[in-house]
Structure 1
Amino acid sequence: MHKMQVAGAEVLVEQIIDRLENTIDATVFCLDDVGEIGYRLRDKGVPVIVLGRRPGMDLSVAKKLADEVKRRDIQVLHAHQYTPFFYSAIARIRYGVKAKVIFTEHGRHYPDVVSWKRRLANRTLLQRYADITTACCDFSTKALQTIEGFPKAFTLNNGVDVSDLVPRGDESDQSRLRERLGLDQDRPYAACIARFHEVKDHATLIRAWAKVHQQLPEAHLLLVGDGEERENIENLIAELSTSSNSQLAASISLLGIRNDVPELLRAIDVFTLTSVSEAASLTLLEAMASECPSVVTDVGGNAEHLRHGVDGYLAPRGDDEALAGCLVKLLSDPDRARQFGRSSRARVLDAFDLNDAIGQYLHHFQTLAATHN
């Protein structure tokens, strides 16, 4: 991994380790730092080793990785994202590591530009050292095949734990939940649960919410997360809270990082995500499993998960006008929101169960370990 921060791929890694604790002996290697989830894993007794990558191409990382893999007799390296794969491949090529490698791609940059040198290196050499190459959605798989030079890549869908993400229940259940969370009973709520990073494009959401607020002044937006964009988000809210929209700031709450996300998803009316780039958003799948209708940007794998007009709405990237229109539709139509929410959960149960995803990863671990020498 790069760093075991609170984000989708990192959460998946923790879930794999937790679910397979009696089957695999896991060690986590981080290129850059431990991260919140890394410290949590250390508390559980899982080794989390920071390789201390320096700026630029740091081949000493591959040497450190190789030494640890050999010392620990690791059979399979599961590299999440391209840079961890690159150093895993170099550890095999240059330092004689025998461990098999799974390369999993989770997301893509926007714009998706890859240098010709990287493409050439992948096609002519590096892709041979990925014994299995997977991506978490068809969008990322296609990019690996056509842009990166991994022709054998295939899709292994992410999943969420549906046992932890229960349906909404009836009105009395909702009332008790909102009271416990400190939410108003009759106020429509939308929530964005995402790290405060420029790729999540909170700016478009804030601009859209200014339009929503003019039509639905009683509606409230919850922003769950934190990160380097927090100050910019706060400044934009203040900037848009003009005399003609003076109550905008009061209609938006920045809640920070929360440990009660499943409860929030059951209590709110609409989940929204405005990323400029996305692969398979675990938070979107969690919202869908919680019977929460969603309004998300039509990027990456979002359209593979959410069916427009069935589970929620897709809006063009960066289009605050379209996004606002979709939010108003759902926030002002509880019957449609409930219908979308029920179909969302059915969609997750059918295609995105965490048990299925982890079962497939375990199969690949065992298959590769059997060929380790």
Structure 2
Amino acid sequence: MKILFYNHTGQIGGAERLLLTILARLDRTAFDATVICPDSGGLPKAVAELGIRNEALSDLKARFTWRVDNLVRYLKSFAQVIRELRKQIISIEPDLIHANSVRAGLAATIATLGLGKPVVWHIHDLLPRHPFNPLIRAMGLFAPRTKVIAVAQASGDRFVGHVRGLRRRVTVIRNGVDRGIFHPSQTAKRKICTELRLDESAPVIGIIGRLTPSKGQLELLRAFPRVLREFPNATLLIAGAPAFNQEHEYLVTLNQTVSELGISDRVRVLGSRNDVPEIMQALDLLVINSVSEACCLVALEAMACGTPVLATRVGGTPEIIEHEKSGWLVPVRNENVLASSIIKLIGQADLRARLAENGKQRIATYFNVNRYMSDLHNYYLHGGDKPPAAAPEVQPARSEAKFA
């Protein structure tokens, strides 16, 4: 089977990291992969390093917006990308297009009109509320060639909304983690503490991800002085970088907040790192303070590393973390509860150890990459008709139609 993977951006985020995992582990005796994405960013190079064909097209500059001027500009970009993508599809003649986002799915579905090519939309996020949502759902419902993979029941439910007929097109395949990369380490904390000149015996708390308001780094900073009153030698590591212009302004705000709070000696803003597994392994506690998540890769990876995770109870995160069993869940946008929960977990090493062990076992059982790739291979080969494996606590969505 010839599969064309279309990614609407060349930048590498969570969806692209999962795409690279898929490409690295795809059964090449059964599937012939080609990737189409813009030539900006790190994705084309990463794809080439896997020995997979990569073709370039324009960046899809289309985002959910309420501004009319931006909307017009985005529609022009959308039309250009559709023309380019259609030419590539006609040239490559794939059996299936795997579109790695809602935007990519919309473009691919329109670009394949009249070509009879099935298109899979891989939804990694919760569909934001927007006036275009009825149009997006209508396309998913009335385009018979369209199927949907959701990374969590929460993202599938948000995509379906009140359109009950759309449910039959959605299959939930939860993300998987490569435990050959993300695993416990006895030496990582010493290495990271030596590099950053930290006290190895002191608590190290971290937050990892793109620097953007929706990830909640600013609120964590505001909560951290309360933690320091209980644990004055604790350190907060912030790993990640901004991706868009407004996010560079957010980075400035984060640095200013650190200075204004007088905690510069207890906070390290690390920027983008190539050693994320070692950072995770070195932490006593990983915090995920997002306002929205579907199936958070960072949570899965940290749990695989044996690092306890404190996360906001949003989206698909409760499908990953069982509160007080395999992790700790807190309400979103509540700095007081966030601070008190960090204090509780840092102060109870036995509790952290229990959460870490249970989290590690949960990943090994339900979120490992071998299970993930088996589900995905079966999905491709059976046209989305074979239900994937799932944790007993979470029922999988059903997919009732095969690829045309």
* Same fold, TM-score > 0.5, yes or no: yes
* Matched residue, 1:232: 250
**1:136–1:158 contact (8 Å) kept in structure 2:** yes
Aligned equivalents of 1:119, 1:261: Cα separation in 2:
35
Question: What secondary structure is seen at the aligned counterpart in 2 of 1:27?
Answer: strand
Amino acid in structure 2 at the alignment position of 1:140: S
* Matched residue, 1:141: 156
**Corresponding pairs, count:** 360
Within the candidate set 27, 33, 53, 1:26 is matched to: 33
* Matched residue, 1:12: 18
TM-superposed deviation, 1:193: 0.7
TM-superposed deviation, 1:202: 1.5
CA deviation map 1:277-330 (0-9, x unaligned): 110011110000111111111111111101111122111111111111111111
TM-superposed deviation, 1:45: 4.1
Aligned equivalents of 1:114, 1:316: Cα separation in 2:
28
* Matched residue, 1:151: 167
**1:42–1:48 contact (8 Å) kept in structure 2:** no
Among all aligned residue pairs of Structure 1 and Structure 2, give the percentage whose two residues are the same amino acid.
26
Aligned equivalents of 2:10, 2:199: Cα separation in 1:
35
Aligned equivalents of 2:304, 2:287: Cα separation in 1:
14
Gaps of 5+ in 2: 1-6, 62-72, 385-401
**1:159–1:352 contact (8 Å) kept in structure 2:** yes
TM-superposed deviation, 1:60: 3.5
Structure 2 CA distance for partners of 1:116 and 1:336, relative to 1, 3 Å: closer
* Matched residue, 2:107: 87
* Matched residue, 1:359: 374
* Matched residue, 1:118: 135
Aligned equivalents of 1:268, 1:230: Cα separation in 2:
26
TM-superposed deviation, 1:195: 0.5
TM-score when normalising by structure 1: 0.88
Aligned equivalents of 2:10, 2:341: Cα separation in 1:
34
| 1:27-42 equivalences in 2 (<5 Å) | 27-30=34-37, 34-42=40-48
Range with bigger deviation, 253-262 or 44-53: 44-53
**1:51–1:65 contact (8 Å) kept in structure 2:** no
Aligned equivalents of 1:53, 1:119: Cα separation in 2:
16
Gaps of 5+ in 1: none
Question: What secondary structure is seen at the aligned counterpart in 2 of 1:165?
Answer: coil
* Matched residue, 1:303: 318
| 1:71-220 equivalences in 2 (<5 Å) | 71-93=91-113, 96-109=114-127, 112-115=129-132, 117-118=134-135, 121-122=138-139, 125-126=142-143, 128-130=144-146, 132-147=147-162, 150-152=166-168, 153-169=170-186, 173=187, 176-178=190-192, 181-182=195-196, 183-220=198-235
TM-score when normalising by structure 2: 0.81
CA RMSD of aligned residues (A): 2.5
**2:189–2:281 contact (8 Å) kept in structure 1:** no
